[in-house]
């Protein structure tokens, strides 16, 4: 977990004309009737089940088998090794056609087809990009070591990415969603690597003496924020990817920095520091200067992520538990998501700026959960088969 990294550092010194107003507030769900969709074949059934779940997880819809504000009709058919779908969405009140689209993929990629269809429905009805086709990186212990896994936004389609047979921590995505940076102990020391998800090529980015961790790629993809202890104390740096030129941003000899995250425009960073005695969040310009304390609630605030909506989420300790907090970076205004008595840590924003993925821990076991910042209760994405920590949601 990003929190554990910090503790480790301490010890180490569709159609444009379709206009539908969803509701006056985002917590008002539209009911969507799926009874009119004809299904034929096992791959088609998988499409249907995945699509129904995607629509529910989007937070905008409540799937039904009758009635409904919206009607989903058409067909999904498996023909040999292929699966095809023809989908139409109409508004029940006036029978206006809001979406009509066809899809065709190999049957083995039935889930991919469903994710695309779900995202098209979300965008056609709400005008917002869906998240069903996006990916999540997460650290799992299923193999006996801490490795990076990738999964779909619903927790399915899980594949193991790294096989370092060691400790891997802190995955973060590049802005194009085609690469990851992370820290691995595969050579006995914490070094920073990148991996290209298309080619599989891995490259070492930082292997200075001491700690190399907390890597986060800038929104323009040209720079890397990271924590280095090469000068004796863990400090925040920016390193150019080309030429590897280093710029040191902090100088706190009696404190520890960790977990940097970039602002959406790339002009600021938020990071964790215990310079005033407890781990709290600070904002600093990419050119350096005096850091600004932005966390004001909780005995400690760690694992920040600066979302596409301009808000920062983090894990905030209060009342002996870690809660998910959402902080405005300029005003410090903070709100907590409802807590069910478990520890929620390592939050990461979805590209829709509404959802989060986080680690939920109960009795020292950790699972991957989807959180809706508007209305829905937490939903388990991956549970069991080891611990699942430090999730990072792809930007697109």
Distance CA 251, CA 237 (A): 10
Nearest to 148 by CA among 171, 175, 181: 171
Residue 99 has a pLDDT of 98
- Is residue 63's pLDDT more than 50? yes
Average pLDDT, the chain: 93
Residue 27 has a pLDDT of 64
Give the pLDDT confidence of 138-163 residue by residue, as tens digits: 999 999 999 999 999 999 999 999 99
* Residue ranges covered by each domain of the chain: 31-126, 134-393
For the chain, give the percent of residues with pLDDT over 70. Answer: 93
The CA–CA distances, whole Å, from 104 to 76, 82, 107, 109, 156 equal: 10, 7, 9, 10, 20
Distance CA 282, CA 346 (A): 17
For the chain, give the percent of residues with pLDDT over 90. Answer: 92
- Is residue 16's pLDDT more than 60? no
Residue 15 has a pLDDT of 32
What average pLDDT does range 74-95 have in this prediction? 97
- Is residue 20's pLDDT more than 70? no
What average pLDDT does range 378-387 have in this prediction? 96
Nearest to 166 by CA among 182, 137, 140, 187: 187
Domain 31-126 matches domain 134-393 at the CATH topology level: no
Q: Which two tokens stand for residue 41?
A: 């074949």
> How many residues are present in the chain?
396
Q: Which two tokens stand for residue 287?
A: 């050119």
Residue 254 has a pLDDT of 87
Distance CA 202, CA 361 (A): 31
The CA–CA distances, whole Å, from 310 to 6, 128, 238, 264, 305 equal: 24, 17, 21, 7, 10
Residue 105 has a pLDDT of 98
Residue carrying structure tokens 């939920």: 360
Residue 4 has a pLDDT of 41
Nearest to 344 by CA among 376, 384, 374, 379: 379
31-126 has CATH 3.40.50.10070 classification? yes
Give the pLDDT confidence of 356-378 residue by residue, as tens digits: 999 999 999 999 999 999 989 99
Q: Distance of alpha carbon 188 from its chain centroid, rounded?
A: 28
Give the pLDDT confidence of 262-308 residue by residue, as tens digits: 999 999 999 999 999 999 999 999 999 999 999 989 999 999 999 99
What average pLDDT does range 76-89 have in this prediction? 97
- Is residue 23's pLDDT more than 80? no
Using a CB cutoff of 8 Å and minimum separation of 24, what contacts does 310-318 make? 310/263, 310/264, 311/353, 312/261, 312/270, 312/281, 313/347, 313/348, 313/349, 313/356, 314/281, 314/347, 315/2, 315/3, 315/344, 315/345, 315/346, 315/347, 315/358
Give the pLDDT confidence of 197-218 residue by residue, as tens digits: 999 999 999 999 999 999 999 9
Q: What is the pTM of this model?
A: 0.92
DSSP letter string, 236-263: EEEEETTT--EEE----TTS-EEEEEE-
Q: Quick one: pLDDT band at residue 26, thresholds 50, 70, 90?
A: low
Q: Quick one: pLDDT band at residue 183, thresholds 50, 70, 90?
A: very high
Give the pLDDT confidence of 300-354 residue by residue, as tens digits: 999 999 999 999 999 999 999 999 999 999 999 999 999 999 999 999 999 999 9
CB neighbours of 7 closer than 8 A, spacing ≥ 6? none
Give the pLDDT confidence of 120-131 residue by residue, as tens digits: 999 999 999 999
- Give the SS3 label for residue 165: coil
Element (H, E) at 113: helix 110-126
Q: Which two tokens stand for residue 356?
A: 């989060």
User: Are the C-beta atoms of 322 and 309 separated by less than 8 Å?
Assistant: no
Residue 202 has a pLDDT of 95
Nearest to 18 by CA among 114, 69, 68, 91: 91
Instruction: Select the more confidently predicted residue: 33 or 12.
Output: 33
Residue 253 has a pLDDT of 86
Distance CA 68, CA 89 (A): 12
Residue 18 has a pLDDT of 34
Q: Domain 134-393: give its CATH architecture.
A: 6 Propeller (2.120)
Nearest to 170 by CA among 225, 131, 122, 222: 225
């Amino acid at each position: 977990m990003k929190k554990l990294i910090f503790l480790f550092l301490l010890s180490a010194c569709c159609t444009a004309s379709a206009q539908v107003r969803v509701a006056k507030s985002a917590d008002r769900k539209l009911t969507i009737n799926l009874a009119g969709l004809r299904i034929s074949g096992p791959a088609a059934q998988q499409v249907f089940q995945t699509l129904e779940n995607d629509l529910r997880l989007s937070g905008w819809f409540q799937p039904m088998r009758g009635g409904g504000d919206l009607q989903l009709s058409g067909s999904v058919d498996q023909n040999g090794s292929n699966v095809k779908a023809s989908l139409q969405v109409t508004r029940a009140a006036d029978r206006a056609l809001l979406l009509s689209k066809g899809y065709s993929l190999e049957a083995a990629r039935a889930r991919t087809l469903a994710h695309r269809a779900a995202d098209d429905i979300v965008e056609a009805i709400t005008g917002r990009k869906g998240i069903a086709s996006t990916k999540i990186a997460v650290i799992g212990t299923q193999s006996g070591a801490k490795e990076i896994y990738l999964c779909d936004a619903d927790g399915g389609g899980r594949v193991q990415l790294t096989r370092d047979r060691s400790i891997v921590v802190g995955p973060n995505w590049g802005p194009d969603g085609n690469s990851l940076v992370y820290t691995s102990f595969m050579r006995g020391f914490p070094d920073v690597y990148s991996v290209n998800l298309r080619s599989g090529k891995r490259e070492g980015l930082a292997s200075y003496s001491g700690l190399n961790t907390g890597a986060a790629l800038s929104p323009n993809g040209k720079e890397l924020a990271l924590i280095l202890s090469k000068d004796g104390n863990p400090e925040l740096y920016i390193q150019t990817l080309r030429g590897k030129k280093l710029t040191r941003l902090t100088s706190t000899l009696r404190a520890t920095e960790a977990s940097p995250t970039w602002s959406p425009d790339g002009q600021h960073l938020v990071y964790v520091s215990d310079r005033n005695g407890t781990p709290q969040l600070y904002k600093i310009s990419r050119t350096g200067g005096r850091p600004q304390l932005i966390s004001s609630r909780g005995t400690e605030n760690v694992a920040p992520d600066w979302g596409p909506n301009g808000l920062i989420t983090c894990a905030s300790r209060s009342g002996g538990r870690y809660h998910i907090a959402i902080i405005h970076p300029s005003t410090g205004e903070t709100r907590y998501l409802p807590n069910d008595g478990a520890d929620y840590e390592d939050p990461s924003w979805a590209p829709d700026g509404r959802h989060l993925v986080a680690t939920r821990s109960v009795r020292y076991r950790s699972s991957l959960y989807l959180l809706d910042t508007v209305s829905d209760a937490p939903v388990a994405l991956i549970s069991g088969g080891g611990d699942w920590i430090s999730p990072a949601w792809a930007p697109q």
